[in-house]
Structure 1
Amino acid sequence: MSVPLPRARRAAAARPPALLSARAGVGFLLPALAFIALFLLVPFAWIVAVSFTNQSLLGANAQGQFVGLSNYARMFDAATWLPGGFGYSLIVTAIFSLGSLAGQVTLGLTLALLFHGQRGPWREVVFTLVTLCWILPEVPVAFGWLSFLDRDFGLLNVLLRALHLGSPDWTLDHPLAAIILFNIWRGTAFSMLLFSAALASIPPSYLEVAAVSGAGPWRRFWDITLPSIRPQLLSALVLISLWTFNTFGPYLITAGGPLNKTDIVAIHTYRVAFRFGDWGLGTAIAMFTMLLNLLLTAVYLLAARRREPRAGA
């Protein structure tokens, strides 16, 4: 008479044998862990250490000495906070990020809604062109935009002159608007693809029943479409904000000028660390930027957790 095995042993017996041992699995992970440690953890630890020193690129402080929180205090020094300081850079970055975020989300959602449920060459052509704007290398794209924004021969001003709207020098008269347009054009593909996938997951019967019940397009969007894509909308808002806050691409258009009007945080950090050679202050700014990114990510994770259904609900 056979004795029945305990439930845990029966589950272990029914489980298929492992293809690799634990040691073999760790061996396969070691190259990736070494890569992460060498190119992420070590530079991060170096940046943290340098942010507490007065190290400079050249000169007497090239070796650097420990100065504690002096660099962080310099960031918020009232005498250099505005204009041209870190505070001014934060204001410029906030305007740039909000403008880019509004444009990318609005344009991406509009394109996704226009082509939702459609098939044919027009949809494929539009989606391909918008995606190309996103995946093409940034340097040639930036040079193309410099030609597009040229005051005398740029296509944008040619169109504006044809409409009798003048021909401004975008990089001098409206530099912040120029880099916002550039960033919207480049990053719209992400929100478009994200919202297209979200719209495809909505059961068509929901919209059909609402249409039969007499709901108009706006009411269907507000009551059915928007609540259904709200998680993707939250993801788009956070990810686009993070990418925009840390992008360095506008440097290729305006180099932070004129008169620091486009001196976003990434450009400001580069200017302080490499143009002025103040590595201590530059790394301190980088650390503060990282903390802002972590705070934004924490807000996103908290909001996403609150939207998760509770067990037994």
Structure 2
Amino acid sequence: MTTEPLAARPKKVRNFALLSNRAGGAFLLPAGLLVSVFVIFPFFWVIFVSFTNRTLLGRTALNPEFVGLANYLTLFDPATFFQRGQFGFSLILTTQFVLCSALLGQALLGLVLAWLIQTVPPAVKRMVETFVIGAWILPEVVIGFAWFAFLDRDAGTLNMLLKSVGLPPGDFLLQHPFWVIVVFNTWRGAAFSMMLFNSAFASIPPSYFQAADVAGASSFQKFRDIGLPLIRGHIVTDLILITMWTFNVFTPFLLTNGGPSYRTELVSIYNYRVAFQDFQFGKGAAVGVIMMLINLAFALVYLSIGKKKAAQS
């Protein structure tokens, strides 16, 4: 007969499921149907259409023909790849737009703003955050038309300000359209980077900066030697996310309509023109598949970095 006390005996733990598998499947069924109808089916339908010559009008609207890789070969035709209005030109232009707007614009501006507001009074910090976040949450259509009114050649606010200080006005949407959409997208998207980096800086123990103050370190030295090394993971996450968002952005269409002379026709705008203005659904679907593959590459990089960070923690 055992003399082991009752308190020392191991207790048997039973797992009781709140719902049976059948009941859980019934609750998940509506969500699964929605995902299937609006995500999975369109995904495979776009891939199928990209191998056809489907159009909106004409004989191929009802009876599209299978053309294999013809749409993809047309997009990557070396003879026209670098011409304005072609896929290659839009892809290169989008790459330049991502580098200037996302990497050098949004990330850098958001990082600088996040660092500067760490040292300002709380009232100023709240005011800056309000203005920056306002640019982020306002509808894109409102922001687009506000910037169009700001840059208008005849009655725009910017030209009025230039005239008031004796400087000549300019038609910025016509003369410098690419840099206009870069500045526009940077101004709008820097809020996300600022909020992310602001949270990252706030997570650093204040004792680190206090020790640096005792050692006589300047603000730049604290930023370089303490701030940047400790938020390196947040910087990588921010760069990947804003790169994906900037690559797919469509808002510059509200300012320039892709012009003048295709000088601001990003890949997303090119896809819109081919599919919904030229009615070439097969070619537009091929562009969409290529964009999905590029986004998939960014997503895989983001997931791999996330797994590394989880393993290190």
- Which stretch of structure 1 is more off in the superposition, 21-30 or 259-268? 21-30
Partners of 1:210 and 1:220 within 8 A in 2: yes
Report the Cα distance in structure 2 between the residues aligned to 1:132 and 1:305, rounded to whole angstroms.
33
Q: Summarize deviations over 1:54-103 as a string: whole Å, max 9, x none.
A: 11111121121111111111110122212121110011111211111121
* 2:123 corresponds to which of 117, 121, 124: 121
Matched, 1:205 2:204: no
Counterpart in the other structure of 2:186: 184
The 1:213–1:148 alpha-carbon spacing in structure 2 relative to 1, beyond 3 Å, is same
Report the Cα distance in structure 2 between the residues aligned to 1:76 and 1:123, rounded to whole angstroms.
49
Superposition deviation, residue 176 in structure 1 = 0.8
Superposition deviation, residue 17 in structure 1 = 3.4
Counterpart in the other structure of 1:250: 252
Report the Cα distance in structure 2 between the residues aligned to 1:40 and 1:279, rounded to whole angstroms.
18
The residue type equivalent to 1:234 in the other structure is V
For structure 2, list consecutive stretches of 5 or more residues without a partner in the other structure: 5-9
Alignment of 1:26-175 (within 5 A): 26-62=25-61, 63-83=63-83, 84-101=85-102, 102-116=104-118, 118=120, 120-175=122-177
The residue type equivalent to 1:45 in the other structure is F
- Which stretch of structure 1 is more off in the superposition, 47-56 or 204-213? 204-213
The 1:76–1:17 alpha-carbon spacing in structure 2 relative to 1, beyond 3 Å, is same
Matched, 1:232 2:250: no
Report the Cα distance in structure 2 between the residues aligned to 1:19 and 1:220, rounded to whole angstroms.
52
Report the Cα distance in structure 1 between the residues aligned to 2:297 and 2:227, rounded to whole angstroms.
29
The 1:15–1:113 alpha-carbon spacing in structure 2 relative to 1, beyond 3 Å, is farther
- Which stretch of structure 1 is more off in the superposition, 121-130 or 235-244? 121-130
For structure 1, list consecutive stretches of 5 or more residues without a partner in the other structure: 5-9
Q: Matched residue of 2:262: which SS?
A: coil
Report the Cα distance in structure 2 between the residues aligned to 1:17 and 1:89, rounded to whole angstroms.
57
Superposition deviation, residue 16 in structure 1 = 6.0
Report the Cα distance in structure 1 between the residues aligned to 2:181 and 2:289, rounded to whole angstroms.
25
Q: Summarize deviations over 1:198-250 as a string: whole Å, max 9, x none.
A: 11100011111122223322221112100111111111111111111001111
Q: Summarize deviations over 1:244-267 as a string: whole Å, max 9, x none.
A: 100111111111000000000000
CA-atom RMSD in angstroms: 2.1
- Which stretch of structure 1 is more off in the superposition, 266-275 or 154-163? 154-163
Percent sequence identity over aligned pairs: 47
TM-score by length of 2: 0.91
Q: How many residues in Structure 1 have an aligned counterpart in Structure 2?
A: 305
The residue type equivalent to 2:295 in the other structure is N
Counterpart in the other structure of 2:283: 281
Report the Cα distance in structure 2 between the residues aligned to 1:227 and 1:3, rounded to whole angstroms.
59
Superposition deviation, residue 186 in structure 1 = 1.2
The residue type equivalent to 1:286 in the other structure is G
Partners of 1:257 and 1:263 within 8 A in 2: yes
Superposition deviation, residue 2 in structure 1 = 7.3
Partners of 1:231 and 1:304 within 8 A in 2: no
Report the Cα distance in structure 2 between the residues aligned to 1:240 and 1:3, rounded to whole angstroms.
66
* 1:195 corresponds to which of 191, 194, 197: 197
The residue type equivalent to 1:58 in the other structure is L
Superposition deviation, residue 307 in structure 1 = 4.7
Q: Matched residue of 1:61: which SS?
A: helix
Report the Cα distance in structure 2 between the residues aligned to 1:208 and 1:231, rounded to whole angstroms.
23
Partners of 1:273 and 1:279 within 8 A in 2: yes
The residue type equivalent to 1:219 in the other structure is Q
Report the Cα distance in structure 2 between the residues aligned to 1:15 and 1:177, rounded to whole angstroms.
64
- Which stretch of structure 1 is more off in the superposition, 161-170 or 39-48? 161-170
Report the Cα distance in structure 2 between the residues aligned to 1:298 and 1:167, rounded to whole angstroms.
46
Report the Cα distance in structure 1 between the residues aligned to 2:130 and 2:312, rounded to whole angstroms.
40
The 1:18–1:168 alpha-carbon spacing in structure 2 relative to 1, beyond 3 Å, is same
Superposition deviation, residue 135 in structure 1 = 1.2
